[in-house]
Structure 1
């Protein structure tokens, strides 16, 4: 039953079948095309490689190449570079091969994938980077791969995923990051994976998953987290995965599964085998009504209570390899299994007369207990035989406050949801992760954490904290992540964060701030990311970020900001991410954006901005990569509103507005995603620049007419009205067809990868004029 987890990826079979079907159709045509190539086209092939001009494949395996061969034929669709010495992939490393669909780069000693390394590979569907030395996945490492379906990064040294690393991979189905060095998954780590089906994170060192670690993965149905270091079931994180049906947590050092730990509506297969489970609550999976298979094999379970009635579909429970003691305490489980028609897979480990008996074959009356005295004596003797010498226990015992759980091996300490009213003291000096969330502290006094200078991550979410005193975290020299989310904090004094020289990520979202805590971050020289989403901040005054000169990302989504001072952000000149979505802004804060020469991601979605004036984003012209102006009720944009934004911009989101016209998009020559859905576009001469731009770019722009009424629902590209406009004479003739019922527009993506190849074969048959490879644009099809 479990073999599919370790065997061939089922998605590969689907892809291979699909690929063979396409090949069957277009290879004969391409073969006919090749008859004409000696006259019209001179094929290129690197000296060290083997090239197949029929299949359009190039193989350069184990050739000691130190760079991507620049002489690979432009029309190549499959490139195999395994086993070379390409230590770095530079920006636009594959600009000479824009038609690639499959790229293999295993065992190439790659250490760094630079920003935009794959830019231009809009047709690539499969990328394998396994068995390299990549340690960081940068924000724009995978830009340009808008059609990618499978990405393999297994057996690298990945220890950090930067926010937005996968934001351009909207069509990815499978992401595999097994056998890496991940320890922690932060919030929104996989943002942008809108079609992901299977996420593989096996064989890492994961010991903590943030609550929103998998946020946005609305299509994920399989998650592999086996062979990691998770000691507790991450209930809050998993509850957000509404579509997951298979969850693998095998080979994690969990010892207990508490009440309602697993709350996943569509989960059908749960693997908890080869862990250290000693006990589990009978309601542990009661909030997973679709569960059919539960694997608890190879744990340390001796007795199990019947599962509660919240699992009506449960059909099989695997208990093989557990020291199941088949006495009267197991009778309720056996009777429940018979009554509910659940198959128990496993054997009895004791008592002696039932040892080795198959659980499903033991009749409930056979499950008897001796006298209480005899039973206790037998169990004591058996426990004594298995227990380690008593002299070893004090040596291995870790220092830990009462009502907390501390693990020496992983250096984790947790007092989560234990009802503490004061911050516990007495943790081991070696503690690295300290989890205190869900308690009732109300305030954090000075010097609350003595003797834990090595803590890297401190969790204080949902602790009803109202006040943080000066020097509350004094001495925590190693702290990098501090979570104060979901409390009642309304202000912070400048000395609150004294003694945190390495703090990098600070979470203050979902508190009670009405005023931005100016000056509170002056003692945090290493602060890179500040989360203040979902507060009630109304304004960003001048010098708001004073002291936070190193800040790179500021998240303010979901406040009530209606004014941003021109000098509010001037201290944070390295800021590259600014989220101001879902606020009360009525204008683009252009003046406040001046001097932000590194800004890459600007989000203004959901504000009440009705008009965008000239040069609104001019200060960000050289750096901006992503611009979100969606769902604002935007009625009009100046023709020069996007002036200054040129080749750098990759994504532009304008959906859900009230635009009848759009500004000049011609300077946006590198745009990879544009969304114009749900706008009442007026298909008349003022929209001609958009129509001409659509003809020029290699994007499938889903823009539909709303007016005039006779064109409603028609694609802008399919109407002929623009040919009558001055300057529209060069547009191709569009046959008049009955309007189709409009589908909901989606973000655009490059055109299908093989259509150009098939059409090109037909061109060679009918025309003698030389041509170079497949056409870039699908708009002009044939003469």
Structure 2
């Protein structure tokens, strides 16, 4: 029996034995690195490497490259290590991830890119990572996510993008994440979320959006998240939650702490029936009404850190909490005899109000007790006009709903966010905002504005977001936006425009998104976008547009998104699309278009990715109506029409989403091309027969009538999805460990289908997405 006390002898014997076995030899190891040939790991930490070492052994499973100077990850950077499961690249000063940099890493499950300098996530940055489960991109400089960036990460469970520079999430930004469970977007500068920003995330259960710049609850965006149970929104500058604001069927834990909430409707969470824990701690709430009956499951309400005034106005809430056994966390902020007392310790009968005179006196005494006598204003005190609230640490100033009839003046020059919504300005004279050149976001919604004088915003050189929604504007002067060189997002929806404000954008060289939804614009005349040559998104949903001139959009050569839904067009504006050579998304939903003629979308061949033709009453489409769109089109929405047959879709090889629901399809031989196409593609196609009567309600893919048609003899009896393509195992001259030679299991993901009120259907199985440019 061998002695176990001489490990060096054992090692020498093992080396000797291995050297005698053909095809087996000691693994390669870069000279700067530490290699463990038993655990198959390589560590090259803090070695000042400028590229991925090409001599790393092919069978390496874990690779640690932290603390190097690999500024660019080129295409095929890891082609020599196809068996990696864990890759760490923190603090490598990575700036650029080239297309296909990770393409050979089909077995990788963990990738850490934290603490680098990545600014843009390109469409195919993560191409090839088909098994990845965790992706960490924290503490970079990400300011843009291009659509399709995550399209191949179908097995990803965790995506973390904290501490970056995101200000806006575009539609479909996370498309392809079919198994995502937790999305972390904390510590960014998010100010706006597109309605479909999280569309397709049907498995997401936790979303972290705390420490951002969201000023209102994104109700429409959140309704697209049917499985989220925990939502973190703390440390956002929201001041009010309106009626039925939170509509999330499965959310159980909602965190809205450390915000600026001053009031919320008692029905704010009534459409979230499973809510158990609501955290409203550290806001500015003084009085809170009992929540409506829709919140019967609520068991814990955190009000700590609010200036709750414990008098008769709090009694209904305290009684409601006792009846529903809801635990109230927090303490009274007044009056004096209750100050600091736990809310749970006070019986409702103790919550009384004195006479009005006594109550006012008590409040005055309380204020004098808590607030020290006035002292000379220190130099560093935040400047703030009367009847407004200003915060120095966040650089936010708010005069929301304060009844102002003139724009207040005297804000701190460091103000970044200025909220003036809900006042009665009517008229905005020139130079209304002196001394606030650093304001990034200006809110003037619901201010009854009828007219703006030339140069009203003069001097606001840092303004990026301007919200003029829900006012009474009918026209704009050509010099209305003078002095706004950085303005990027302009909101003019829900005003009273009857004609497009042509010429008003000549002084906005940086304008990317123009919102004019819900006005009464009747037509689009030639050259309406003069001065807006860089425009990427034009939103004209729900106007009264009945014609689009052939040269209407000529100046917007970079236009990527055009929304014309809910208007009065009776034909596709083909001629007007001739110069929109980068248009990726076109929405014509809800227009009374009954016929789509041949070559209707030919100007958009090879560039259009998403086409919405739903809910139009469409009766017929020419067989060449979609000519030219085939290879590049990613989604096609035709639901809610009157189509009995559809054009041949055989050339549509990149489709990820198609919806033909609620059409009276005639399941007979003219529909055979659709039936054959459905069998060939790896997609869930929502198409049912309406005729003949005996087939009504059956799925097109399941009926057998097509077998009797010429060319239908070889149709499968039970159609199935096309076989999944798997990557080939790289060739190697070495013997591989047993676990690497084992056959790889491919998980088949079934997409759940649940009804929801939205014009955007759920994406089905995601394929490789064609590259496109999208508004950041």
TM tier, smaller: 0.7 to 0.9
CA distance in 2, matches of 1:443, 1:465: 6
- Identify the range of structure 1 (619-628 vs 683-692) with the bigger mean alpha-carbon deviation: 683-692
Q: Does the 8 A contact of 2:231 with 2:251 survive in 1? A: no
Q: Which of 139, 159, 167 is the aligned partner of 1:152?
A: 159
Q: Does the 8 A contact of 2:151 with 2:177 survive in 1? A: no
The Cα shift of 1:680 comes to 2.1
Equivalent in the alignment of 1:510:
494
CA distance in 1, matches of 2:601, 2:246: 39
The Cα shift of 1:394 comes to 3.6
Q: Does the 8 A contact of 1:622 with 1:648 survive in 2? A: yes
Equivalent in the alignment of 2:532:
548
CA distance in 2, matches of 1:150, 1:165: 18
- Identify the range of structure 1 (291-300 vs 477-486) with the bigger mean alpha-carbon deviation: 291-300
Q: Which of 184, 209, 230 is the aligned partner of 2:237?
A: 230
Equivalent in the alignment of 2:329:
319
CA distance in 1, matches of 2:746, 2:363: 78
CA distance in 2, matches of 1:367, 1:722: 75
Q: Aligned ranges for residues 418-437 of structure 1 at < 5 Å?
A: 418-437=402-421
Q: Which of 442, 458, 463 is the aligned partner of 1:458?
A: 442
CA distance in 1, matches of 2:247, 2:343: 35
Q: What secondary structure is seen at the aligned counterpart in 2 of 1:209? A: coil
Change in 2 beyond 3 A, CA 1:453/1:776: closer
Q: What secondary structure is seen at the aligned counterpart in 2 of 1:533? A: coil
Q: Does the 8 A contact of 1:413 with 1:427 survive in 2? A: yes
Give unmatched runs, 5+ long, in structure 1: 1-45, 331-347, 351-357, 370-374, 737-748, 757-771, 779-783
Q: Aligned ranges for residues 642-653 of structure 1 at < 5 Å?
A: 642-653=626-637
The Cα shift of 1:615 comes to 1.5
Equivalent in the alignment of 1:115:
123
CA distance in 2, matches of 1:361, 1:435: 38
CA shift digits 1:310-349 (9 cap, x unpaired): 77864233435x476797x65xxxxxxxxxxxxxxxxx85
Change in 2 beyond 3 A, CA 1:143/1:707: farther
For the pair 1:176 / 2:183, whether they are aligned, the reply is yes
Q: Which of 618, 622, 627 is the aligned partner of 1:638?
A: 622
CA distance in 2, matches of 1:194, 1:715: 26
For the pair 1:81 / 2:81, whether they are aligned, the reply is no
Change in 2 beyond 3 A, CA 1:116/1:562: farther
Q: Aligned ranges for residues 701-740 of structure 1 at < 5 Å?
A: 701-729=685-713, 731-734=714-717
Aligned length: 670
Q: Does the 8 A contact of 2:243 with 2:266 survive in 1? A: no
CA distance in 1, matches of 2:581, 2:65: 42
CA shift digits 1:584-619 (9 cap, x unpaired): 111111111112111111111111112212221111
Equivalent in the alignment of 1:163:
170
Equivalent in the alignment of 1:280:
286
Q: What secondary structure is seen at the aligned counterpart in 2 of 1:306? A: helix
Equivalent in the alignment of 1:306:
315
Q: Does the 8 A contact of 2:104 with 2:128 survive in 1? A: no
Equivalent in the alignment of 1:60:
62
- Identify the range of structure 1 (434-443 vs 706-715) with the bigger mean alpha-carbon deviation: 706-715
Q: Does the 8 A contact of 1:110 with 1:134 survive in 2? A: yes
Change in 2 beyond 3 A, CA 1:429/1:775: closer
Change in 2 beyond 3 A, CA 1:230/1:705: same
Q: Does the 8 A contact of 2:593 with 2:617 survive in 1? A: yes
The Cα shift of 1:287 comes to 8.5
Q: Does the 8 A contact of 1:509 with 1:535 survive in 2? A: yes
The Cα shift of 1:201 comes to 2.7
For the pair 1:485 / 2:469, whether they are aligned, the reply is yes
CA distance in 1, matches of 2:281, 2:627: 59
The Cα shift of 1:116 comes to 4.1
Q: Does the 8 A contact of 1:155 with 1:178 survive in 2? A: yes
Q: What secondary structure is seen at the aligned counterpart in 2 of 1:700? A: coil
Q: What secondary structure is seen at the aligned counterpart in 2 of 1:627? A: strand
- Identify the range of structure 1 (686-695 vs 466-475) with the bigger mean alpha-carbon deviation: 686-695
The Cα shift of 1:233 comes to 3.9
Equivalent in the alignment of 1:266:
272
CA shift digits 1:442-474 (9 cap, x unpaired): 222222222222211111111111212222112
CA distance in 2, matches of 1:557, 1:385: 55
The Cα shift of 1:87 comes to 5.6
Change in 2 beyond 3 A, CA 1:127/1:568: farther
CA distance in 2, matches of 1:365, 1:593: 70
Equivalent in the alignment of 2:23:
none
Q: Aligned ranges for residues 110-509 of structure 1 at < 5 Å?
A: 111=118, 112-117=120-125, 126-131=133-138, 133=140, 135-142=142-149, 144=151, 150-166=157-173, 168-169=175-176, 174-188=181-195, 190-193=197-200, 195=202, 198-206=205-213, 208-209=215-216, 214=221, 216-217=223-224, 219=226, 221-230=228-237, 232-235=239-242, 238-239=245-246, 244-250=251-257, 252-254=258-260, 256-257=262-263, 260=266, 262=268, 264-266=270-272, 268-272=275-279, 275=282, 277=284, 279-283=285-289, 285=291, 289-290=295-296, 291-299=298-306, 301=308, 303=310, 305-308=314-317, 314-319=324-329, 322=331, 330=338, 349=340, 394-509=378-493
CA shift digits 1:273-327 (9 cap, x unpaired): 65254x521427568643432112355557463234777864233435x476797
Q: What secondary structure is seen at the aligned counterpart in 2 of 1:81? A: strand
Change in 2 beyond 3 A, CA 1:220/1:726: closer
Change in 2 beyond 3 A, CA 1:487/1:203: closer
For the pair 1:534 / 2:542, whether they are aligned, the reply is no
The Cα shift of 1:734 comes to 1.2
The Cα shift of 1:553 comes to 0.4
CA distance in 2, matches of 1:686, 1:101: 46
CA distance in 2, matches of 1:445, 1:574: 33
Q: What is the TM-score of this pair, normalised by structure 2?
A: 0.74
Equivalent in the alignment of 1:336:
none
Q: Does the 8 A contact of 1:288 with 1:310 survive in 2? A: no
The Cα shift of 1:128 comes to 2.7
Q: Aligned ranges for residues 548-587 of structure 1 at < 5 Å?
A: 548-587=532-571
CA distance in 2, matches of 1:312, 1:363: 9
Q: What is the TM-score of this pair, normalised by structure 1?
A: 0.73
The Cα shift of 1:560 comes to 1.3
Q: Does the 8 A contact of 1:614 with 1:643 survive in 2? A: yes
CA distance in 2, matches of 1:226, 1:712: 47
CA distance in 1, matches of 2:377, 2:721: 63
Equivalent in the alignment of 2:11:
none
CA distance in 2, matches of 1:732, 1:153: 45
CA shift digits 1:162-190 (9 cap, x unpaired): 42143635856644224432242345262
Change in 2 beyond 3 A, CA 1:450/1:622: same
The Cα shift of 1:686 comes to 2.2
CA distance in 2, matches of 1:234, 1:161: 21
Q: What secondary structure is seen at the aligned counterpart in 1 of 2:245? A: helix
Q: Does the 8 A contact of 1:261 with 1:284 survive in 2? A: no
Q: Does the 8 A contact of 1:633 with 1:656 survive in 2? A: yes
CA shift digits 1:103-142 (9 cap, x unpaired): 6455494824211445688x87945334362513424144
Q: Does the 8 A contact of 1:562 with 1:585 survive in 2? A: yes
CA shift digits 1:477-536 (9 cap, x unpaired): 111111111111111121111111111111111111111111111111111100001111
Give unmatched runs, 5+ long, in structure 2: 1-28, 42-58, 354-358, 728-742, 750-776
Q: Does the 8 A contact of 2:306 with 2:333 survive in 1? A: no
Change in 2 beyond 3 A, CA 1:671/1:231: closer
The Cα shift of 1:69 comes to 3.6
The Cα shift of 1:258 comes to 6.0
Change in 2 beyond 3 A, CA 1:81/1:726: farther
CA shift digits 1:385-433 (9 cap, x unpaired): 9877965864453222222112222221111111222222222222211
CA distance in 2, matches of 1:775, 1:225: 33
Q: Does the 8 A contact of 1:262 with 1:288 survive in 2? A: no
CA distance in 2, matches of 1:753, 1:134: 36
